[in-house]
Amino acid sequence: MLLLQNGSRGPLVSFLQLTLKDLNLYNGEIDGIFGINTSNAVKEFQTNNNIQDDGIVGENTWNLLLPYTQVPTTIPYTYDILMLNLKAILNKYDFISSSSIGDSVMDKNIPYIKLGNGPKQLLYVAGTHANEWICCP
């Protein structure tokens, strides 16, 4: 699981800051730097959700944040953010499922998304050069 704490940096921290800002817990700049303001916002979120308020974003905190995440449009969209958004979608909608079609050359899991449970299903696979929607009869 993705672990963020004081001193962490990057797009995933920006994603966290955006989520906390949407919850009115963070009012600082979206700068991708996990500093004291981000830590305080995380601690407040943790306290509000009755988990240990250590300011560290681990599995428990991410799981509680997932319902509040959105697809960001103002920061770089990374693989880790994609996987968190996918997890949030899977937790919310029981007619969506996902698995893997293998690993990329960068040793990252390549997910696919299947919509529907009936005799006709829709399969989404993200490719390098194109996105494909495949309808399964």
Q: What's the pLDDT at 122?
A: 64
Mean pLDDT of the chain: 87
Q: What's the pLDDT at 22?
A: 96
Instruction: Specify the higher pLDDT residue, 123 or 61.
Output: 61
Max Cα-Cα span within the chain:
53
What is the mean pLDDT of the segment spanning 77-93?
90
**pTM for this predicted structure:** 0.80
Q: How far is CA 2 from CA 13, 18, 81, 83, in A?
A: 11, 17, 10, 10
Residue 133 has pLDDT above 60, yes or no: no
